[in-house]
């Protein structure tokens, strides 16, 4: 059996599946239930200074898509609204009772060194395994010059990270905001500040919908709404991209992947792109804590089939194949193939190609029945037909002999920069 145990930034856990800092980790009751269900670690919901935060009602919105109520999930909830001393006491007790599980505490206080020093001293006294600096919250706290208001300014990221490394012996994980043009800038700042790791992504600024009766953004609070933080399956592509950028640009910096993870396959993809652990929130809120059993079993079984004995055997293996567009082989060609035995003759491939692509699928009649066939000379291998086809395996992409040697845009004679260099 594959060994799922991992050590991340010096923090050991029995498996890479952690609960992200969010409502599911707001109190001891939830965290204990999570550990009983099998989660390898949790990041306790973000603590701040007293007096406690005041939250709104309601707090959540969602994007529904083809029967899924949680294609995208939005929240306007702030950090914990429970007293700091209550949270600290519960963290201390939970860690004492479950020393075998990773327990990291998320923190957010104003950009004042003394504030960070004070809360770090209190948190370190609980015996927790590390701290995560919340530089990502895009609503509510950012209006108070915290959260993403810090994460969007690399100088602030470096400064606060440095304070935390000076005033605590705990591993420091910096949670990054995706609401930025280049994720490498704050990641590099965190590294300069001495961060032991980064975690990403935090939520994206969003409005999930508008109540057309009340004429207000959702979720509605007394007739009005605001932007919130977007998460769930819909943000996974953004998260994978940003994790991969850091893995490629800052090799050796530990990464905890967050964003739309709900299955073992999601987790494997993040790990293949360099993540050492993965953090889950929306999927747990949708299905409950016991989804981790399926994730553990699925990842373990897949690793057994592939011959991977541990997480490190495949962590980052896809990073080397994540290249810039200009490094792709322009002589590589594929052509679509339609399996007539699997085709249900719905015509979706034909419609998509005829109306919006390259007119490379012919609509034919055979014994009075519709039949669809790829026109090889017109097919550019764009894959659109494969993605609109409702039958798995009916349409495949078949590699063709290359018309010449491998050539990238960096090497291509049409590249004006190459021409300038030659002159």
Query: Which residues share a beta bridge with 256?
Result: 199, 277
Report the alpha-carbon distance of residue 416 to residue 423 in Å, rounded: 11
Residue positions annotated with a catalytic role: 137
Collapsing DSSP states into helix, strand and coil, what is residue 208?
coil
Say if residues 43 and 284 touch (Cβ distance below 8 Å).
Answer: no
Say if residues 43 and 105 touch (Cβ distance below 8 Å).
Answer: yes
Report the alpha-carbon distance of residue 83 to residue 99 in Å, rounded: 24
All residues at 6 or more sequence positions from 179 whose CB lies less than 8 Å from its CB, including other chains: 136, 138, 148, 151, 152, 204, 205
Residue 364: count other Cβ atoms within 10 Å of its Cβ.
11
Say if residues 190 and 198 touch (Cβ distance below 8 Å).
Answer: yes
For 32-96, strand residue ranges (E) read: 41-47, 60-65, 68-75
Say if residues 323 and 245 touch (Cβ distance below 8 Å).
Answer: no
Residue 252: count other Cβ atoms within 10 Å of its Cβ.
7
* CA neighbor of 22 nearest in space, from 5, 49, 45: 45
Query: Which residues share a beta bridge with 210?
Result: 217
Residue 82: count other Cβ atoms within 10 Å of its Cβ.
15
Report the alpha-carbon distance of residue 357 to residue 344 in Å, rounded: 21
Report the alpha-carbon distance of residue 160 to residue 199 in Å, rounded: 16
Report the alpha-carbon distance of residue 318 to residue 84 in Å, rounded: 42
Report the alpha-carbon distance of residue 252 to residue 254 in Å, rounded: 6
Q: Residue 219 CA to chain centroid, in angstroms?
A: 23
The half-sphere exposure of 267 on its side-chain side, counting CA atoms within 13 A, is 28
Report the alpha-carbon distance of residue 328 to residue 167 in Å, rounded: 46
């Amino acid at each position: 059996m594959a060994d799922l145990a991992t050590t991340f930034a010096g923090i050991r856990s029995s498996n890479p599946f952690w609960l992200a800092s969010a409502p599911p980790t707001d109190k001891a009751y939830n965290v204990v239930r999570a550990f009983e269900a099998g989660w390898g670690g949790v990041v306790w919901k973000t603590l701040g200074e007293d007096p406690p935060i005041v939250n709104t009602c309601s707090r959540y919105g969602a994007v529904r898509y083809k029967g899924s109520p949680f294609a995208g999930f939005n929240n306007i909830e702030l950090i914990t609204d429970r007293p700091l001393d209550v949270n600290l006491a519960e963290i201390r007790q939970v860690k004492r009772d479950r020393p075998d599980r990773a327990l990291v505490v998320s923190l957010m206080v104003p950009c004042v060194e003394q504030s960070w020093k004070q809360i770090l001293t209190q948190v370190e006294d609980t015996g927790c395994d590390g701290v995560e600096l919340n530089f990502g919250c895009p609503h509510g706290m950012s209006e108070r010059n915290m959260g993403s208001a810090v994460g969007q300014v690399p100088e602030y990221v470096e400064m606060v990270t440095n304070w935390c490394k000076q005033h605590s012996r705990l591993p420091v994980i910096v949670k990054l905001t995706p609401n930025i043009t280049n994720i490498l800038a704050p990641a590099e700042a965190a590294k300069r500040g001495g961060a032991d790791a980064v975690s990403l992504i935090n939520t994206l600024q969003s409005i999930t919908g508008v109540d057309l009766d009340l004429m207000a953004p959702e979720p509605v609070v007394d007739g009005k709404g605001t932007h919130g933080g977007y998460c769930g399956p819909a943000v996974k592509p953004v998260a994978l991209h940003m994790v991969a950028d850091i893995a490629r640009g800052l090799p050796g910096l530990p990464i905890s992947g967050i964003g739309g993870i709900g299955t073992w396959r999601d987790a494997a993809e993040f790990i293949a792109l360099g993540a050492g652990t993965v953090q889950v929130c929306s999927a747990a809120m949708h299905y409950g804590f016991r989804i981790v059993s399926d994730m553990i079993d699925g990842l373990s079984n897949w690793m057994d089939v592939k011959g991977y004995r541990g997480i490190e055997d495949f962590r980052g293996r896809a990073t080397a194949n994540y290249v810039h567009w200009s490094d792709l082989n322009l002589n590589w060609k594929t052509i679509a193939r339609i399996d007539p035995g699997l085709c249900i003759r719905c015509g979706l491939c034909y419609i998509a190609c005829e109306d919006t692509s390259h007119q490379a699928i012919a609509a034919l009649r055979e014994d009075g029945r519709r039949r669809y066939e790829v026109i090889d000379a017109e097919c550019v291998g764009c894959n659109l037909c494969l993605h609109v086809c409702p039958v798995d395996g009916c349409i495949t992409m078949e590699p063709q002999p290359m018309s010449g040697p491998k050539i990238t845009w960096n090497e291509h004679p049409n590249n004006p920069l190459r021409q300038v260099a030659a002159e």
